[in-house]
Amino acid sequence: MDIAIVGAGISGSNVLKSLITHPNFQADDLIDVYEPRQSLGSGLPYEPTDDESIMLNTSSDVLSVDENNELDFTEWLEHHFKEPTNFEQLVSRPHYGKYLVERFSPFYTHEQVRHVQNTVVDVEVLDAATKEPADDTQDGNFVYRIKTEDGWQDSVYDAVFFSVGHPEYNDFYDLKGTENYIHNPYPMKEKLANFDNNQKISVVGSGATGVDLMRFFMSNYELEQPLTFYDLKEPFYCVAIPYEKDDFTYHLTKNWVEEQKEVHGGFIPLQVILDTIKDDLKQENAEPMAVYNRYKSGTLDVFRKAFDMKDQELAAVQKYAANSVPNLPHLYNALSGEDQQEYMKNYYQIMLFFKTKVPYYSYQWLFELIDAGKVETVAGLKEVNVLENGRFQFVTEDSEAEADIVVNATGFINNIEILTKHSELIKNLFHRRLILPHVNGKFILVDWPQCRVLNQQYGRMDNLFFLGLLIGGTQHENNDAGQTIQQAQYTAKAFMDER
Ligand SMILES: Cc1cc2nc3c(=O)[nH]c(=O)nc-3n(C[C@H](O)[C@H](O)[C@H](O)COP(=O)(O)OP(=O)(O)OC[C@H]3O[C@@H](n4cnc5c(N)ncnc54)[C@H](O)[C@@H]3O)c2cc1C
């Protein structure tokens, strides 16, 4: 069997390892890994050579890639570094990258594996028997040919795993290509290396990339003017408060989901999940809606209050949300269609509020920087314009300001139609009707939990898989390394089991 894996980040690498270590992997199987970068195993977020100031937002205990030892990464860190965490009590992302490269290296150097250092731009569906382009029969046996930037490849693949990771960054203000505008700041060490301390630097967006930028600029520059973060609403997510109690009531495990599906004959009513959350949190003296109403304004002032008092009610709800992250796709896919809609309409933002947060000691640093006048935040961004002198103008409802350098931190495009204008691969797959947008034009439609591509042209494609951020409509809220690892392992194993 010839298999192609497109992308060698943690998703593609876990697919690779799971294929090779499966008992059904055979001596004449061949795997081609298409990846334009030289570094195999880490992907861009954990690039081993990037600046050490950028930090993981996840505990090392949930990032092992060894199925038999969940503390493998923690032990690796302790073995390699005297002090594995920094003053924010976080682990450097490049350290995780080094771990990933080391752990996956035996698989990339395996004699049945070939690295094709190129970007995939198209895939053609062939009839397995004739190797001719397939018609649109929905029950056909398909194989695939891949086109890279160098042209069509000779190999014909029995299965293709797309693990291409993050789509392009948004370009809300149409600045891509403008001088002194950094559209994608990674790797930071390379893209943000050559500024002067007297230049005015502003950042658009204040999510996880924004926090990385704060760390990078404060660790590598002595800026003479404050680093300004602009956002549509109040900048920066909620502060993560450490929960101080040891035991914790939590029922929404994967087993609970399976049990409840049986009890309710298929779908779990959303109300049952909501009641369970409420009852669990009652045991922790927390009322989620009261906490949400207390902090939903999202201002730095209310977060400072939560920070100062180490609000344990907020901490309990955040811990509950964090525990739920690995199970969110299972919970979401256990809902009926109308309950999925109800969840998205009325509860999704609340879950997002509690699960997306900035670590406690990072906030302490942020507050210190704001108090010292080194960082400032501005809400209500309306426009970013390029002036005739090449500087940038930021317009909000009641202010105007300028900057020499603008760094983009606005997150990724997930609308497929928009993405076709930025990604050759997505453009071609969409043109061939191989991929369909999932919800509201966003994400790629796959089945669950195997992540096989679904479309009208060919039906369910049993040997064509899509993984990662672009299947966020099915693998709900999947922008998390732990989930990425688990899903890649599951998908590859399920494929090999059926071989
Ligand atoms: C900046 C950043 C920081 C993050 N930090 C954390 C964190 O601290 N903790 C956490 O849990 N999660 C974090 N995440 C979430 C992240 O999505 C996952 O942890 C993980 O990196 C996803 O792995 P992946 O393999 O799907 O994608 P990636 O790691 O992005 O790998 C995709 C690979 O595919 C390659 N590729 C793309 N297109 C093509 C193509 N057409 N042809 C061939 N190859 C291609 C790319 O070069 C890349 O190497 C972060 C994400 C980002 C963007």
Q: 284-337 pLDDT, tens per residue? A: 999 999 999 999 999 999 999 999 999 999 999 999 999 999 899 999 999 999
Q: Is residue 218 domain-shared with residue 251, that is, in the same domain?
A: no
Q: Whose alpha carbon is nearest atom 14 of ligand 1?
A: 480
Q: Would 231 be classed as within a structural domain?
A: yes
Q: Is residue 418 domain-shared with residue 400, that is, in the same domain?
A: no
Q: What pLDDT does residue 439 have?
A: 84
Q: What pLDDT does residue 25 have?
A: 98
With cut-offs at 50, 70 and 90, classify the pLDDT of residue 477.
confident
Q: What pLDDT does residue 138 have?
A: 62
Q: Would 175 be classed as within a structural domain?
A: no
Sheet containing 227-230, strands listed edge to edge, beginning at the edge strand earlier in sequence:
181-182, 405-408, 201-204, 227-230, 375-378
Token pair 């690039």: residue: 47
User: How many Å apart are CA 297 and CA 283, to the nearest integer?
Assistant: 26
Exposed, middle or buried: residue 490 (CB in 10 Å: 0-12, 13-18, 19+)?
middle
Torsion angle (degrees, nearest 10) of CA 397, 401, 402, 406: -50
Residue type, 175: L
Q: Are residues 270 and 339 in contact, defined by beta-carbon separation less than 8 angstroms?
A: yes
**Cα 100 to middle of ligand 1, angstroms:** 12
**Cα 467 to middle of ligand 1, angstroms:** 11
Q: Is residue 259 domain-shared with residue 327, that is, in the same domain?
A: yes
Q: Is the pLDDT of residue 139 over 80?
A: no
Q: Are residues 55 and 62 in contact, defined by beta-carbon separation less than 8 angstroms?
A: no
User: Any bridge partners for residue 442, and if so which?
Assistant: 415, 439
Q: Is residue 403 domain-shared with residue 281, that is, in the same domain?
A: no
Q: Look at residues 384, 411, 404 and name the one whose alpha carbon lies nearest to residue 395.
A: 384
Q: Is residue 215 domain-shared with residue 226, that is, in the same domain?
A: yes
Q: Is residue 207 domain-shared with residue 333, that is, in the same domain?
A: no
| pLDDT, average across residues 339-345 | 96
**Cα 179 to middle of ligand 1, angstroms:** 26
Q: Is residue 74 domain-shared with residue 8, that is, in the same domain?
A: yes
Q: Last residue of some domain: 323, 355, 387?
A: 355
Q: What is the pLDDT of residues 351-398, one digit of tens each?
A: 999 999 999 999 999 999 999 999 999 999 999 999 999 999 999 999
Q: What pLDDT does residue 479 have?
A: 81
Structure-token pair, residue 340:
């999925």
> For helices 337-346 and 270-283, what crossing angle results, to 10°?
50
Q: Look at residues 17, 396, 95 and name the one whose alpha carbon lies nearest to residue 229.
A: 396
Out of 148, 162, 164, 358, mutate this one to test ligand 1's pocket (max ligand atoms within 8 Å of CB): namely 164
Q: What is the pLDDT of residues 86-126, one digit of tens each?
A: 988 899 999 999 999 999 999 999 999 999 999 999 999 99
Q: Is residue 329 domain-shared with residue 343, that is, in the same domain?
A: yes
Exposure string over 388-418, b if 16+ CB within 10 A, otherwise e: eeeebebebeeeeeebbbbbbbbbbbbebeb
Mean pLDDT of all residues in the chain? 96
Residue 195 carries which DSSP code?
-
CA 351 to each of CA 329, 452, 458: distance values in angstroms, whole numbers, following the listed order: 13, 27, 36
- What percent of the chain clears pLDDT 70, i.e. is strictly above it? 99
| pLDDT, average across residues 417-425 | 95
Q: Is residue 31 domain-shared with residue 157, that is, in the same domain?
A: yes
Q: Would 176 be classed as within a structural domain?
A: no
Dihedral sign (CA 60, 63, 65, 71): positive
Residue type, 490: Y
Q: Would 323 be classed as within a structural domain?
A: yes
Q: Is residue 78 domain-shared with residue 142, that is, in the same domain?
A: yes
Q: How many independent structural domains does the chain possess?
A: 3
The CATH number of residue 230's host domain is 3.50.50.60
- What percent of the chain clears pLDDT 90, i.e. is strictly above it? 94
Biggest CA-to-CA distance, the chain: 70
Atom of ligand 1 nearest to the CA of 412: 53
Q: Would 83 be classed as within a structural domain?
A: yes
With cut-offs at 50, 70 and 90, classify the pLDDT of residue 259.
very high
Q: Whose alpha carbon is nearest atom 37 of ligand 1?
A: 164
Atom of ligand 1 nearest to the CA of 39: 49
Q: Is residue 277 domain-shared with residue 149, that is, in the same domain?
A: no
Q: Would 105 be classed as within a structural domain?
A: yes
With cut-offs at 50, 70 and 90, classify the pLDDT of residue 191.
very high
| pLDDT, average across residues 25-33 | 98
Q: What pLDDT does residue 193 have?
A: 94
User: β-strand 381-386 against 375-378: which pairing, if any?
Assistant: unpaired
Atom of ligand 1 nearest to the CA of 118: 43
More reliable by pLDDT, 439 or 453:
453
Q: Are residues 223 and 248 in contact, defined by beta-carbon separation less than 8 angstroms?
A: no
User: How many Å apart are CA 494 and CA 411, to the nearest integer?
Assistant: 32
Q: Is the pLDDT of residue 265 over 80?
A: yes
Q: Are residues 306 and 297 in contact, defined by beta-carbon separation less than 8 angstroms?
A: no
| Interface predicted TM-score of the whole assembly (ipTM), two decimals | 0.99
| pLDDT, average across residues 129-153 | 89
Phi, psi of 276 (to 5 degrees): -65, -45
Residue type, 192: L
Q: Would 174 be classed as within a structural domain?
A: no
Atom of ligand 1 nearest to the CA of 166: 30
| pLDDT, average across residues 212-227 | 97
Q: Look at residues 458, 460, 433, 456 and name the one whose alpha carbon lies nearest to residue 446.
A: 460
Q: Is residue 193 domain-shared with residue 259, that is, in the same domain?
A: no
Atom of ligand 1 nearest to the CA of 34: 43
Q: Is the pLDDT of residue 241 over 70?
A: yes
| pLDDT, average across residues 18-23 | 98
Q: Is the pLDDT of residue 61 over 80?
A: yes
Q: Would 253 be classed as within a structural domain?
A: yes
Residues of the domain holding 213 = 181-237+359-408
Q: Ligand 1: residues whose CB is within 6 Å?
A: 6-12, 34-37, 43-45, 56-58, 119-120, 163-166, 186, 208-209, 425, 468-469, 479-482, 484
